[in-house]
Structure 1
Amino acid sequence: MLPRALLSKVILKPSVSLFQFNQQRGLHSRNKKAMEFIAKGWNALKEVDRVIDYCELNDRRLIPLLNTAKENFELALEADNTNTHARYWLSRVHMKYHVPGANKAVAAALLVEAAEMGDPDAQYALGCHLRVENDYVQSDQRAFYYLEKAVEQLHPGALYLLGAVYLTGDCVKKDIASALWCFHRASEKGHAGAAIAYGSLLLKGVKIPESIIKFSLKRGSAAQKRGKNKESIAIDPVEMAKEKFQIAAKSGCDLGFKWLARLEEEEKRLLTQEY
């Protein structure tokens, strides 16, 4: 039994005050309301993206949808000014679409704010924008900085782009192992381009880094034990490449289907030669 004095202290002195509880409840309520507005705005943009390829960019029939998206993202920020998703999507509306009242300066400011607040989509988008040549700032270094921040949160687009940077040695030291790691992690998140890049590099004979082999074995991918001791565990590069092409094909990428067809033809050719 606990002493009565100690029991009274536990009961009378809660770890969270009533004021703190109300404050947290208020934050949760504002965030929930903001997310509802973001969902409405995102649905409107989704409808725009669905039909925009079949009409002019400034088609007046798109204006009601664009206004709906813009207003809902603005309402989301009013409901919760700390919401990074609202900042990112509002910047996207201002920057990409012909919405009435669009302002590139506002878009840039919102995008930088969202990136600095840790939103991975904003960090990736800002990194992409800074990759454009700029005579007045060291844009490549800043782009690399934001891309790395997005990569830390395993953003698939940022992983793919950083992998391409490492592969080509553009503004960084060429590092095939780092490129493969980026492509591998991006493909695991369904990025078709990364899956194609990784699979094609494997078929060209690029050596798989040990870190990826260990990671893949833990995940139970196309691994085969060869030999009697545990140190002889290896991965069949052709089987892993096939897995990557299947990821690309699953996302609807034509190159994924073409690579799978080529592998199937090669397997048939080898079988006929054996017999």
Structure 2
Amino acid sequence: MLRPFFMKTYMKPITLRFPQFNPWREMHTRNKKAMEFIAKGWNALKEVDRVIDYTELNDRRLIPLLRTAKENFELALEADNSNTHARYWLSKLHLKYHVPGACKAIGAALLVEAADMGDPDAQYELGCRLRVENEYVQSDQQAFYYLEKAVDQLHPGALYLLGAVYLTGDCVKKDIASALWCFHRASEKGHAGAAIAYGSLLLRGVEVPESLTKFNSKRLPSTKAVEKNAGSPVMDRVEMAREQFQIAAKAECDLGLKWLNRLEEEEKRLVNG
């Protein structure tokens, strides 16, 4: 028996299509939403920081801004519970500001969580706080642990602080080469204190590690600078130090400007003498 023509020609298998779940797109959406909340909270907190030096810490006029910041950081965590930036900024609100509902214990817990989750700002902040003397906790080793974690991510503040630790031999074996490396990397990121420390050490004649001298030699203008400073390691040090003080001055550090003026006066004295 022959099948009807329409059955033979037009009957095809039906394929049902369901929307595919994309975890990466979902994660991106949550993170984007969280960052929007963080930006709103950060802007409110920035406004608080702009005027807080001219008001009392518990000035009622700051309360709306602080509440806005707190609500947005909390919303950011609701949107993306894995967001370390939201944890860090919310911890700062609890620990530093007189925001309604502030709790030091909650702030400390959030800070530790953010640091353990890998946020460099939180690691640096926690390392600084742990360096404060505490009769109940042996905090020096913990502080050094978190500072090193932040240094691994080239956090400028952590680099500067670790450089100071190596320079003074506080809690670790004194290591001038490591201190110089830390100051150098921090100054590259515009840290004024590190630039001043590195420049002043150069002028004092501290031996610079070979890795750093090679790096700086690559950055010197080729022929003219080499001819000018050939056979004059002292002039090389002065020029390297000048570059560091310029970094500090660019960061609006008065001490950087003072060092630059001092170098200019010294050079004029040598020329006229």
Does the alignment reach a TM-score above 0.5? yes
**Structure 1 residues 88 and 221, CA gap change in structure 2 (3 angstroms):** farther
Per-residue CA deviation, residues 24-47 of structure 1 (Å, 9 max, x unaligned), is 101000000000000000000100
Code of the residue aligned with 2:166 in structure 1: it is Y
Contact 1:222 1:240 in 2 (8 A): no
Per-residue CA deviation, residues 93-145 of structure 1 (Å, 9 max, x unaligned), is 10000001000000000000000000000000000000011122220000000
Q: Does 1:214 align with 2:211?
A: no
Query: Which residue number in structure 2 is paired with residue 240 of structure 1?
Result: 240
**Please, what TM-score do these two structures have when normalized by structure 1?**
0.87
Runs of 4+, deviation exceeding 3 Å: 221-226, 232-235
Per-residue CA deviation, residues 36-90 of structure 1 (Å, 9 max, x unaligned), is 0000000001000000000101100000000000000000000000000000000
Instruction: List alignment gaps of at least 5 residues for structure 2.
Output: 1-18
Which of 1 and 2 has greater Rg?
2
**Structure 1 residues 101 and 18, CA gap change in structure 2 (3 angstroms):** same
Q: Distance in 2 between matches of 1:233 and 1:203?
A: 14
Query: Which residue number in structure 1 is paired with residue 6 of structure 2?
Result: none
Query: Which residue number in structure 1 is paired with residue 94 of structure 2?
Result: 94
| Superposition deviation, residue 18 in structure 1 | 4.2
Q: Distance in 1 between matches of 2:145 and 2:66?
A: 32
Query: Which residue number in structure 1 is paired with residue 129 of structure 2?
Result: 129
Query: Which residue number in structure 1 is paired with residue 141 of structure 2?
Result: 141
Query: Which residue number in structure 1 is paired with residue 169 of structure 2?
Result: 169
Code of the residue aligned with 1:28 in structure 2: it is H
Equivalent residues, number: 251
Query: Which residue number in structure 2 is paired with residue 49 of structure 1?
Result: 49
SS at the partner of 1:138?
Answer: coil
Query: Which residue number in structure 2 is paired with residue 190 of structure 1?
Result: 190
Equivalence map 1:1-275=2 (5 Å): 18-19=20-21, 22-218=22-218, 220-221=219-220, 225=226, 236-273=236-273
Q: Distance in 2 between matches of 1:217 and 1:123?
A: 33
SS at the partner of 2:49?
Answer: helix
| Superposition deviation, residue 221 in structure 1 | 4.2
Aligned sequence identity (%): 80
Per-residue CA deviation, residues 194-218 of structure 1 (Å, 9 max, x unaligned), is 0001111111111111111122234
SS at the partner of 2:99?
Answer: coil
**Please, what TM-score do these two structures have when normalized by structure 2?**
0.88
Code of the residue aligned with 2:183 in structure 1: it is F
**Structure 1 residues 233 and 178, CA gap change in structure 2 (3 angstroms):** farther
